[in-house]
């Protein structure tokens, strides 16, 4: 067993410096983000009086804006053959906006701050993924993206721990914190991501395209789906269908609170989710290089449907903990694997643009997904909302079987 683990982790030693540097930046950024995120639904609902519909509007619109902007940032990074600068600018915007949550007084102001923060994510996301894809050989692509997602989720383990201790320190009653006590915690959120900016400047290296300039001049990069084959276009449609089932995780935290999880314990629940994500990302990212991306994504989407069906009927704290841990496995089976599959399906000189379209497909339906979920919850019940999402994800999994996955 020890030898198997040693061989497993030895594979990660040969990943490039860019992968390690960007993964450390992801860790720091998610530490920052997840000081805030697990507390935000309770802060909105219990202290600002936001409804499930309003929470869905905030998170759905914020994520949609981020994903839409990735289209243009990815395209421009291909066109100008520059990816490091937008990565730096995107993280810089996050470091500026997150502390502003310490001064909000309404859910509408939270909406403005969250959207601005997600604009930074939109600027940096596709160029970062393109750097990672270009920094490793094809046979280690799943490994690299799995490692990056694992580092990202490690930050999401550290962030909630920090949030738990900060809230325990500032709150007189951890079962019912005041708005001011929440906001004192939010002030600390920018520190880790500022450190990440120095890592980008000194340790991330720009990788220029190897395609001859004369060839690029004859076939310039265009912001058009016509540049890609029908198989990749079908993949984008399937991603959009699945995303229609994938509403904001804020609803899961709200459901957890309803099932008996105290507000101060929500960060620990969020931490447990991301611990599950860390280990599953390392395992399944590597496995996708061997057994195939489509197989893992299909299984992950079916698992997602089962988890959401479980959330429809959860009525005890221990059930909530179990579902969150299983939910983390879904992320490990799909997040990094989907990104590796994008790199498999398109020419390398168009990867930034391809990641932009991948995120555009996500953005088209992530906003209505959260709006529809919140509306169903408010109008009918939480059970109806979760079961609807489960059904849509099963349909997307069936459509995924039509995608050809030959590597480019």
Q: How many H-runs (helices) and E-runs (strands) does the chain carry?
A: 17, 0
Residues of the chain short of pLDDT 70, as ranges, are 1-14, 67, 70-71, 74-75, 80, 174-175, 209-226, 285, 406-408
* Phi, psi for 169 (deg, rounded to 5): -75, -45
Residue with tokens 């981020």: 66
CA dihedral of residues 333, 336, 340, 343 (deg, nearest 10): 140
Query: Domain 17-207+224-400 maps to which CATH number in 1.20.1250.20, 1.10.1240.10, 1.10.3720.10, 3.40.50.460?
Result: 1.20.1250.20
What is residue 5's predicted lDDT score, i.e. its pLDDT? Answer: 46
Q: What single string gives the DSSP state of each residue in 294-326?
A: HHHHHHHHHHHHHHHHHHHH--SHHHHHHHHHH
* Nearest-10 Cα torsion for 271, 277, 279, 285: -160
Q: Residue 260: exposed, middle, or buried by beta-carbon count in 10 A (0-12, 13-18, 19+)?
A: middle
| Cα 4 to Cα 99: distance, rounded to the nearest angstrom | 44
How far is the C-alpha of 122 from the C-alpha of 67, rounded, in Å?
A: 6
- Alpha helices by DSSP H, listed for 171-265, are 179-186, 190-203, 213-218, 230-243, 250-258
Among 247, 262, 182, 245, smallest CA distance to 392 is for 245
Question: How is the chain split into domains, by residue range?
Answer: 17-207+224-400
Start-to-end CA distance of the chain, whole Å, equals 36
Q: Which of 283, 18, 30 is nearest to 142 (CA)?
A: 283
The per-residue DSSP string of 120-162 comes to: HHHHHHHHHHHHHHHTS-GGGHHHHHHHHHHHHHHHHHHHHHH
| SS3 state at 178 | coil
Condensed to tens digits (0 to 9), the pLDDT of residues 51-104 reads 877 887 887 777 777 767 766 776 677 776 778 888 898 888 888 888 888 888
Residues 266 and 38: beta-carbon distance below 8 Å:
yes
The confidence score (pLDDT) of residue 140 equals 78
pLDDT at residue 223 in the model: 57
What is the greatest pairwise CA distance in the chain?
67
Q: 207: helix, coil or strand?
A: coil
pLDDT at 215: 47
Q: How far apart, in whole angstroms, are the C-alpha atoms of residue 397 and residue 390? A: 11
pLDDT, position 161: 86
| DSSP label of 46 | I
What is the rounded CA–CA span in Å between residue 27 and residue 172? Answer: 30
Rounded to an integer, what distance in angstroms lies between the CA atom of residue 371 and that of residue 369?
Answer: 6
Q: Alpha-carbon distance 324 to 393, whole Å?
A: 18
The whole-angstrom separation of Cα 185 and Cα 306 is: 34
pLDDT of residue 214: 43
pLDDT score at 122? 79
pLDDT, residue 216, reads: 44
- Token pair in block for residue 214: 């004369």
Q: What is the pLDDT of residue 10?
A: 60
The first and second tokens of residue 119, run together, are: 């604009």
Nearest by Cα to 47 from 247, 189, 183, 249: 183
Which letter does DSSP use for residue 47 in this model? I
Contact 123, 88 (CB under 8 A): no
pLDDT tens, residue by residue, 98-126: 888 888 888 888 888 888 888 888 788 77
- Tokens for 403, please give them: 């995608």
Residue with tokens 């280690």: 140
CB atoms near residue 141 (< 10 Å)? 26
Q: Check: CB of residue 350 under 8 Å from CB of residue 228.
A: yes
Structure tokens at 175: 């079962």
- pLDDT of res. 220: 53
């Amino acid at each position: 067993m020890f030898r198997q683990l040693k061989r497993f982790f030895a594979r990660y030693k040969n990943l490039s410096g860019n992968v390690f540097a960007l993964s450390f930046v992801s860790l720091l950024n998610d530490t920052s983000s997840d000081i805030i995120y697990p507390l935000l639904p309770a802060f909105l609902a219990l202290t600002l009086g936001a409804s499930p519909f309003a929470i869905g509007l905030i998170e759905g619109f914020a994520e949609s804006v981020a994903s839409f902007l990735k289209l243009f940032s990815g395209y421009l990074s291909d066109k100008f053959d520059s990816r490091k600068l937008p990565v730096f600018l995107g993280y810089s915007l996050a470091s500026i906006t997150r502390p502003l949550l310490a001064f909000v007084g309404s859910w509408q102001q939270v909406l403005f701050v969250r959207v601005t923060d997600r604009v930074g994510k939109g600027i940096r996301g596709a160029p970062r993924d393109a750097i990672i894809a270009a920094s490793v050989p094809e046979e280690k692509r799943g490994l690299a993206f799995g490692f990056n997602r694992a580092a990202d989720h490690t930050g999401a383990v550290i962030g909630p721990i920090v949030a738990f201790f900060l809230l325990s320190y500032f709150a007189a009653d951890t079962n019912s914190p005041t708005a001011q006590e929440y906001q004192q915690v939010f002030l600390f959120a920018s520190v880790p991501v500022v450190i990440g900016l120095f890592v980008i400047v000194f340790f991330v290296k720009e990788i220029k395209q190897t395609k001859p300039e004369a060839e690029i001049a004859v076939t310039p990069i265009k912001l058009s789906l016509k540049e890609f084959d029908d198989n990749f276009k079908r993949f984008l449609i399937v991603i959009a269908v699945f995303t229609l089932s994938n509403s904001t995780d804020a609803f899961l935290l709200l459901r957890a609170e309803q099932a008996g999880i105290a507000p101060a314990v929500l960060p620990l629940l969020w931490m447990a989710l991301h611990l599950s994500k860390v280990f599953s990302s390392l395992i399944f990212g590597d496995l996708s290089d061997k057994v195939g991306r489509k197989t893992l994504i299909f299984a992950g989407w079916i698992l997602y449907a089962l988890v959401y069906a479980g959330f429809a009927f959860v009525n005890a704290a221990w059930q909530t903990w179990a579902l969150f841990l299983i939910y983390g496995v879904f992320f490990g089976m799909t997040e990094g694997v989907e990104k590796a599959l994008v790199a498999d399906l398109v020419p390398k000189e168009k990867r930034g643009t391809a990641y932009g379209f991948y995120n555009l497909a996500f953005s088209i339906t992530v906003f209505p997904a959260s709006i529809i979920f919140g509306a169903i919850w408010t109008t009918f019940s939480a059970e109806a909302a979760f079961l609807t999402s489960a059904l849509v994800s099963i349909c997307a999994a069936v459509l995924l079987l039509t995608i050809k996955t030959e590597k480019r």
